[in-house]
Amino acid sequence: MRRALCGLLLLLPAMALAAVPEVKDLGAHRTGSMAEFQQVIDSKCTICHTRERVDVAIRKRAEIERLEQEMVDRGAVLSERDKSVLGTFWGNPLKRRDR
């Protein structure tokens, strides 16, 4: 009886993990990649700004929603996906672009 109980207790965590569905998008907490963030910066922001200027705004943790709106008002085209990616990683310590 004791062995069966111990075996059951060992299996419970594995059974619980198997029952949890994979979640791909949790809004601001979703999983994503820094590479995707860098791609949005390179394809959207550096059309008008130097990379250095963008990096300074990131380090200063400039208010991303305000910046996005200003850029859209000036003609930038940002998809909801672009905004989601920028909002997820904006203000994080910069990582090397070649990684």
Domain hosting 62: range is 22-99
Per-residue pLDDT of 54-86, as tens digits, reads 989 888 888 999 999 999 999 999 999 999 888
12 part of a folded domain: no
Output the pLDDT for position 98.
44
Residue 13 lies in a domain: no
Report the pLDDT averaged over residues 27-49: 79
* Residue that is written with structure tokens 């910046």 in the block: 67
Q: What is the pLDDT of residue 22?
A: 52
Alpha-carbon 33 to chain mean position: 6
Residue 10 within any structural domain of the chain: no
Please give the pLDDT value at position 9.
58
Q: How confident is the model at residue 49 (pLDDT cuts 50, 70, 90)?
A: very high
Residue 99 lies in a domain: yes
Above 80 in pLDDT, residue 26?
Answer: no
Angle ∠(20,25,31) on CA atoms, nearest 5: 90
Q: Is residue 69 part of a domain?
A: yes
Identify the weakest region by mean pLDDT among 21-30, 49-58, 63-72, 89-98: 21-30
Tell me the CA end-to-end span of the chain in Å, nearest whole number. 53
